[in-house]
Amino acid sequence: MTATAHDTAAPAGDAEVVLRAAGLEAGYQRPGRHGFGRRRVPVVAGLDLTVRAGRTVGVVGESGCGKSTLARAIVGLIPAFAGTIEFAGTDLASLPRRRRRRVARDVQMVFQDPYTSLNPRMTVAAVIAEGWRVHPGIVPRDREDAEVARLLDLVGLRPEHAARRLHELSGGQCQRVAIARALALRPRLIVCDEAVSALDMSVRAQILNLLADLQAELGVAYLFISHDLDVVRHIADEVAVMYLGTVVEQGTAEQVFGDPRHPYTRALLSAVPSVRDRPDDAAREIVLEGEVPSPAAPPSGCRFRTRCFMAAERCARDVPELIVREGTAHPVACHFADADTGTDTDAGTASSAR
């Protein structure tokens, strides 16, 4: 396996668009008023997202922000309430069922916990080959064993692993199998939903390197969803920060992590413990009070305003659009994105630290 870093990927802008979601709404339904009818609760509430070939888009946010719902809607596990999802220029919703399945092959998913997302009693070979039953014609039957061996090699396992059952493997090895299974269908996009979150730290680094190697070798794109900002910062080319179903800030990893403009992004980044922290300097962080509101009853105007340390009257009235604003180089959904953020230290002490 070549060990080139993923900086060999094509620069943003000119690579082909693999996935484009526009105005996407998805969520769950619950009984309507007095038990009549159904009411849609959009957990993802109008979201635009573009992923280009061979690139990694990271989605960060906390529980309830809708990042897993986004993943599920994109791979078609749940229907979208509104908006479009395009793969390589084709709107999925407009396709008849059979054609949709053909397109859906191009996007695969790797889940957080391989022990629950894969059948532990199946052999590794059967897990990897399962997709070829659903999508015939990718690999001829007589070539399957050889293809399984090739995929195992690709993800750093040995040919003899093919006959093992998943419960005999470690968590890191299972996650390699899950990646091999996704790759078996030769997808153009892999949605990784907390794909390394359940792994021990030494093994996590192995899998992150593997994902980078595979991208350099195969040109596959990732939509990498994680609550772990350090991991996303490491692996992603572009980053979208989600809060309560919408993207509040978007840009290159360098822009979002190096020059965060949305107050939520700033709070999130300051809250992440780093090995460089020390017990006595914890006062630097921006502490958000309160909790994420319910997606069934989002606040008016800016959805973050109820916890925002910069909130003003206007924020309850006007929904801030996700646009490039004066003084920012990347899209931010905040009326005050151009406010002088100063250093992290100033922001923390000035506005929020108790």
Choose between 92 and 180: whose C-beta lies nearer to another protein: 180
Of all helices (H) and strands (E), which one includes residue 42? strand 38-52
Choose between 246 and 265: whose C-beta lies nearer to another protein: 265
350 by DSSP, 3-state: which?
helix
Q: Does 53 bind another protein (CB under 8 A)?
A: no
DSSP letter, residue 340: -
- Applying CB under 8 A, which of residues 35, 121, 278, 340 lies at the interface with another protein? 278
Q: Does 329 bind another protein (CB under 8 A)?
A: no
**Ordered DSSP codes for 211-256:** HHHHHHHH--EEEEEES-HHHHHHH-SEEEEEETTEEEEEEEHHHH
Name 150's Cβ contacts closer than 8 Å, sequence gap at least 6: none
Three-point CA angle 344, 347, 353, nearest 5°: 110
- Which residues ranging from 57 to 76 are in contact with another protein (CB under 8 A)? 62-63
Choose between 75 and 203: whose C-beta lies nearer to another protein: 203
User: What gap in Å lies between CA 197 and CA 117, rounded to an integer?
Assistant: 14
Choose between 5 and 134: whose C-beta lies nearer to another protein: 5
Q: Does 205 bind another protein (CB under 8 A)?
A: yes
From the list 119-127, 130-138, 272-280, 327-335, the region that binds another protein by CB under 8 A is 272-280
User: What gap in Å lies between CA 224 and CA 49, rounded to an integer?
Assistant: 13
Q: Does 234 bind another protein (CB under 8 A)?
A: yes
The one-letter amino acid code at 126 reads A
Q: Does 343 bind another protein (CB under 8 A)?
A: no
- Applying CB under 8 A, which of residues 282, 316, 324, 350 lies at the interface with another protein? 282
User: What gap in Å lies between CA 209 and CA 267, rounded to an integer?
Assistant: 28
The one-letter amino acid code at 231 reads V
Task: Please report, as ranges, the residues that interact with another protein according to CB under 8 A.
Answer: 1, 3, 5-7, 62-63, 156-158, 161, 170, 172-173, 176, 200-206, 208-210, 212, 227, 229-231, 233-236, 253-254, 257, 267-268, 270-279, 282, 285, 287-288, 291
